[in-house]
Amino acid sequence: MNEIRTLLDGRGLVESPRWHGDRLYFSDWSAGEVVAVGLDGAAEVVAHVKSLPLCTEWLPDGRLLIVSSADGLLLRREPDGTLTTHADLGREGWNDITVDGCGHIYVNAVGFDPMSGEMSKPGSVFLVADGSARQVADDIAFPNGMAVTPDDSTLIVADSYTHSLMAFDIAADGSLSGRRLWADLGEAAAPDGICVDAENAVWYADVPNRHCVRVAEGGEILQTVALDRGGFACTLGGPTGRTLFITAAEWRGMTEPEMVTPASGQILAVDVGHGA
């Protein structure tokens, strides 16, 4: 395994890494910022959105989508940096977002407020189209990271509470069918943010186990990157597509006033053998 490099540190609860152009974009939930960082470590705040969670994804046309969960809105960043409403999601509690090559936008939502201590309820996946969201999958205990396979045929969803990755077939209109267990990760696993590589293997980040793991369909472990703090999400990028970027921080707990240790958030990079 190649050496893990630190691109940026001193951040808060960092999430939603996305490689675009020649930079990595991520969200600092603590600061309410979307940040871009280059391979030289130079960083720039590209959007201010006070939301928890705060996840992002790129449209095929190169515009950035930002989930403003607190407002129940999906925002769009225009080329001049202004933010506009892309869709009214109609409720709060949104979590992750992914977009396939056809422009189908998927957002998920948990079925309860995990920060309140209330009893958990299953969550759902929604398809965003024509300015609103409609449910296309449900009964997912805790839907977390999502990613689409390179051929745009399959949506994979991390279910943190059932320690698994679920898969759905994507239809031409963006609807989902063919629900199935893509991988049982074992009772110790807590998959958070995920990405899919060119060989259809999935990398998942794991906060309590402090690592990122590459798995094949069926659950075979192919590779592990050990961390000294919780891994919240990961993505592939860089000039060759073979750099795994990881957002990591020291986790304190969902119900703590500050869920991570202040200034413990890091953006990490490690070269791996399989690209995006």
Mean pLDDT of 108-133: 85
Q: What is the CATH number of the domain that holds 257?
A: 2.120.10.30
Residue 118 lies in a domain: yes
Q: How far apart are CA 151 and CA 85, in angstroms?
A: 29
198 or 254, which is more confident? 198
Domain membership of residue 125 (yes or no) is yes
What is the total count of domains within the chain? 1
Mean pLDDT rounded to a whole number for the chain? 95
Cβ proximity of 206 and 189 under 8 Å: yes
Per-residue pLDDT at 116: 62
pLDDT per residue as tens digits for the range 221-238: 999 999 999 999 999 999
Q: Average pLDDT in the 162-184 region?
A: 98
Domain membership of residue 77 as a residue range: 5-271
Q: Tell me how crowded residue 85 is: count the other CB atoms within 10 A of its CB.
A: 13
Return the pLDDT at 117: 64
| Contacts made by residues 105-109, CB under 8 angstroms, sequence distance 24+ | 105/57, 105/59, 105/65, 105/74, 105/129, 106/136, 106/146, 106/155, 106/174, 107/67, 107/74, 107/133, 108/140, 108/143, 108/144, 108/146, 108/157, 109/143
Q: Which residues contact 183 (CB under 8 A, 6 or more apart)?
A: 164, 165, 202, 215, 216, 217, 218, 219
Q: Is residue 22 part of a domain?
A: yes
Report the percentage of the chain scoring pLDDT > 90: 88
Domain-embedded: residue 276: no
Q: Note whether residue 152 is domain-resident.
A: yes
Q: What pLDDT is stored for residue 90 in this prediction?
A: 87
> In this structure, is residue 94 part of a structural domain?
yes
Task: Indicate if the pLDDT at residue 251 is higher than 70.
Answer: yes
